[in-house]
């Protein structure tokens, strides 16, 4: 189902190489899923997304550009996505390596169908998040006011995500904070500033790509909306909020934190 939806959206772009890129994304997920299930490990799950993002972006970029005529906008956007993906993928891999496991997968990895579905959803996530950028890169990014605004928004979102991750890592590294929740730094103003940064940067990527889209390609602008819905209601915030309430729900300080601090920012 997830594969069919992604292929349908890819075909709407009217660019054959986008369809090939989507096939490549799902193939990567399948190839890493098989040994992951056999060895019952989730340690390479996040790296699968990173490999998929980097591979698909490089594939589309080199298929659409040559040494004699490189589109500067496409180069900038490709670089943004690759740097973001490598940074986040490495961060998540090292975190799970240190922890030894990701508790979200405790039961999922025991079931072939559930574990496979999780990798399939990850393939859909990578596809729908990146397809707007892939289409823009394939067409050649056109510099406009919207493009410049998109670049600024991406940098803001990326910076927020890095700072939030860094603050939480330092907080957890302090033994005095064991079994405590973080409410300092950016986490004072948002319960999930890392996810806020993620949503903002993908909005920026969509704006960078916007001027290069045409016709049915505008459907690829669902990217930031999809990212928001998935992070808030499916795999990210929804899971963490339930886990947090089980762990700290009895604390008055945590109840106050939930009441006074937005999940993301403002009305979001």
Give the Cα separation of 191 and 116 in Å (integer): 30
pLDDT at residue 152 in the model: 98
Domain boundaries, the chain: 2-260
Q: What are phi and psi of 131, to 5 degrees?
A: -65, -30
The 3-state DSSP class for residue 66 equals strand
Task: Find the radius of gyration of the CA atoms of the chain.
Answer: 19
pLDDT at residue 267 in the model: 63
pLDDT > 90? residue 155: yes
Question: Over the chain, what is the mean pLDDT?
Answer: 92
- What average pLDDT score do residues 11-24 get? 95
Give the Cα separation of 95 and 97 in Å (integer): 5
pLDDT > 80? residue 138: yes
């Amino acid at each position: 189902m997830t594969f069919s939806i992604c292929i349908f959206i890819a075909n709407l772009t009217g660019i054959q190489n986008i369809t090939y890129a989507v096939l490549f994304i799902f193939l990567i997920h399948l190839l890493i899923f098989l040994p992951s299930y056999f060895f019952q490990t989730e340690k390479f799950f996040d790296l699968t997304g990173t490999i998929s993002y980097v591979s698909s972006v490089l594939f589309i970029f080199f298929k659409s550009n040559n040494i004699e005529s490189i589109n500067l906008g496409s180069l900038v956007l490709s670089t943004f996505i690759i740097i973001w993906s490598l940074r986040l993928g490495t961060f998540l891999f090292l975190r799970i390596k240190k922890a030894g496991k990701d508790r979200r997968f405790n039961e999922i990895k025991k079931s072939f169908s559930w574990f496979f579905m999780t990798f399939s959803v990850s393939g859909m996530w990578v596809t729908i998040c990146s397809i707007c950028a892939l289409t823009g890169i394939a067409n050649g990014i056109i510099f406009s006011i919207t493009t410049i605004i998109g670049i600024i928004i991406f940098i803001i979102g990326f910076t927020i995500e890095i700072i939030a991750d860094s603050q939480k890592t330092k907080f957890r590294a302090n033994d005095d904070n064991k079994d405590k929740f973080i409410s300092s730094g950016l986490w004072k103003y948002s319960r999930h500033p890392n996810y806020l940064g993620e949503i903002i940067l993908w909005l920026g990527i969509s704006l960078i790509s916007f001027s290069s889209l045409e016709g049915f390609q505008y459907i690829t602008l669902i990217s930031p909306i999809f990212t928001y819905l998935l992070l808030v209601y499916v795999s990210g915030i929804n899971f963490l909020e339930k886990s947090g309430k089980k762990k700290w729900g009895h604390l008055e300080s945590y109840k106050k934190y939930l009441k006074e601090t937005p999940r993301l920012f403002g009305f979001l």
